[in-house]
Amino acid sequence: MTAIGGFQAPTSGEGRLGVHSIGEFVLSVPAPEKAADFYGAFGLDISDAGGQVALATADGYRWGRVVGGPRKAMHHVAFHCFEEDLPRFKTHLEGQGIRLLSPPPGFDSNGLWLADPDGLLVEIRVGPKTSPDSKAAPAPFDADEAARCAPYRRLAGRARPRRLSHILRFTPDVERMIGFYARALGLRLSDRSGGAIAFMHAIHGSDHHILAFARSEAPGLHHLSWDMPTLDSIGVGAIAMADKGYRMGWGLGRHVLGSNYFHYVRDPWGSFSEYSFNIDHIPARTEWEPLDHPAEDSFYLWGPDMPPEFVFNAEAAQA
């Protein structure tokens, strides 16, 4: 385990420029109606948003939309910043020589649009801070004495994600993506394992990572990770998805980088959605030193053997 050369500690003063959260993702797939089935079973609230499938958590926050398209691909990701930082971002991006784009058709906004090195559209816009300011406490555990605490399976209810935690994407060049998102959006490297995988957090307080990159021969979406209130809720979600025919996945296990408990469910397009619980948190103004971890000791602490399809890039296969 080694410290990464060139590490720059964040300053402790105010005025640091960086996005603070993921605001929303938009996914394009050939059959959006399948998204309603999958994400509804996963525990999200589904609604129509002008012909698009809207994905929200129980508090009503819309984390994503699914639109129709010729093949499965991430259409764009919106990141939120503080209101006073939007004009600063415009000056910053122009000063970095990063070209600002017009919003894509059907997605007019007052945000700033750009493309990352893999061609993904990225929006920076003013919005609420969805990343946590501190590590969320787990929901109370049902451990009453002299009582049967586990309900019948049919009475277990839905597993309900609390929020989107992070997005992990495939990329041909992990190093290039680290550099771009640090330079353009102010994200900081949390941890990595060589050139195979890297995790980045937001400087105003966030989970261990809100964005991550894994090396592949082409860009693509690996998974969307959803924060759960308890370890038990991961199991409830996993068995409910299996009951509905979504049996391919990986879990239950515990990661090393991020420390979270996980269960992944494969979606109809070959990517994954992750039930996640108890991920590490990096507070604002923390001098978090990123480390380069050995591959053989940094993937997962315990769990079943990883299935071969877990590292399959479905978007590369359809290119």
* Assigned domain for 143 exists: no
Q: What crossing angle do the helices spanning 231-243 and 32-42 adopt, rounded to 10°? A: 140
Q: Is the model's pLDDT at 46 over the cut of 90?
A: yes
Strand partners, 3: 291
| Count: domains in the chain | 1
Q: What is the mean pLDDT of residues 142-158?
A: 80
Strand partners of residue 66: 27, 53
Say if 56 falls within a structural domain. Answer: yes
- pLDDT at position 287 over 70: yes
Q: Worst-scoring range by mean pLDDT, 145-149, 176-180, 287-291?
A: 145-149
pLDDT of residue 11: 41
- Residue 146 resides in a domain: no
Inform me whether the pLDDT recorded for 245 exceeds 80. Answer: yes
Nearest by Cα to 41 from 249, 254, 304, 309: 249
Q: Which domain holds residue 221?
A: 17-130+161-318
pLDDT score recorded for residue 174: 98
The reported pLDDT for the residue numbered 79 is 98
Cα-Cα end-to-end distance for the chain = 36
Q: In what order do the strands lie in the sheet with 249-255?
A: 2-3, 291-292, 188-193, 197-201, 211-215, 163-171, 220-227, 272-277, 261-266, 249-255, 300-302
**CATH number (domain holding residue 216):** 3.10.180.10
Evaluate whether residue 136 is within a structural domain: no
Whole-number pLDDT of residue 3: 46
Alpha helix locations (H) across the chain? 32-42, 86-95, 174-185, 231-243, 314-318
Convert the pLDDT of each residue in 101-131 to its tens digit: 999 999 989 999 999 999 999 999 999 999 9
For residue 123, being part of any structural domain is answered with yes
| In-domain check, residue 180 | yes
Give the model confidence (pLDDT) of 185-195 as tens digits: 999 999 999 99
Instruction: Give residue 283's pLDDT.
Output: 97
pLDDT computed for residue 14 by the predictor:
59
Q: Is the residue at 1 inside a domain? A: no
More confident residue, 289 or 143: 289
Asked, for residue 2, whether it belongs to a domain, the answer is no
pLDDT for res 155: 84
